[in-house]
Structure 1
Amino acid sequence: MPRRMTHTGQGTHQTLKNMSYEKTLVSWLMMDGWQVFLPVLDNGHCTDILISDGPHFYRIQVKTIENNSSQVVHNQWLDKNVDVVVYFARTSNWGVIAPAFTEKKRSLDHPKHRKFIQSRKGFLREFHQF
């Protein structure tokens, strides 16, 4: 059985974990029939994932958060044309789908946000409510 024998730096390890949430979301969206596009570089555009149903395109930003559903999140995509932000709790099995908002900060438990269990079925059930 393969074993990784080299040390992974703390910053690299965190990047790998964050990217795994993006790839999980890509898989769930593809299984739902969306066309999924990954920007070569999203620096300055705040688009981790671009999806399309053919005629329409939507920009998605993916973030990880602590395990606190009443946490306040800060708007990092103002004027970036992001449509949806998907938050994944790092130490639990839930997440939140939020339409991009214009306030500087907002609580995760805002009424317009949709909480989901971190599974394809749980995510898609809430994603289809938008």
Structure 2
Amino acid sequence: MPRRTTQTPKHTHQTLKNMSFESMVISWLMYDGWQVFTPILDNGHQTDILISDGPNYHRIQIKTVEASGDDHWVENKWQDSHVDLVIYFARNSTWGYIAPAFADQRRPLNHPEHARFAANSRTEFLKEFHTID
């Protein structure tokens, strides 16, 4: 059985975990029938995933947060970037939120326009994904 015998640097390990959330969302959206595109570089456009149903395209940003509860506040870091949705995962828990991009400078994760999902459930994620306008 393969065994990792080297130490992964802390920042590299965090990047790997963050990318795993992106890969999970990509998989879930493909399972749901979306065409999924990943930019070679998202610097400036702040788009981690671009999805399409054919005629329509939507930009998605994936973020991880160190949140101790649903009332955690998030900063708007995508203003003027044309992002449609931001999907948040709590790094230290098993839940996330889907949020339409908003104009406020800050907003709580549990805002009424956001949809909460279990981070380990494709079914729950897709159910909540389809409720977002």
TM-score by length of 1: 0.98
Q: Secondary structure at 2:64's aligned position in 1?
A: strand
1:25 corresponds to = 25
Unpaired stretches in structure 1, ≥5 consecutive residues: none
Equivalents in 1 of 2:107, 2:130: separation in Å?
Answer: 22
Matched residues, percent identical? 61
For residues 23-82 of structure 1, what are the alpha-carbon distances to aligned partners after superposition, in whole Å with 9 as ceiling and x for unaligned?
000000000000000000001111000000000000000001123210100000000000
Q: Which residue type is aligned with residue 77 of structure 1?
A: W
Runs of 4 or more consecutive aligned structure 1 residues displaced over 3 Å after TM superposition: none
Q: Which residue type is aligned with residue 79 of structure 1?
A: D
Give 1:120 deviation, angstroms. 0.5
- Paired residues for 1:118-129 under 5 Å: 118=119, 119-129=121-131
Q: Secondary structure at 1:14's aligned position in 2?
A: helix
TM-score by length of 2: 0.96
For the aligned residues, what is the CA RMSD? Answer: 0.7
2:104 corresponds to = 103
User: Number of residues paired by the alignment?
Assistant: 130
Q: Decide which moves more: 66-75 or 44-53.
A: 66-75
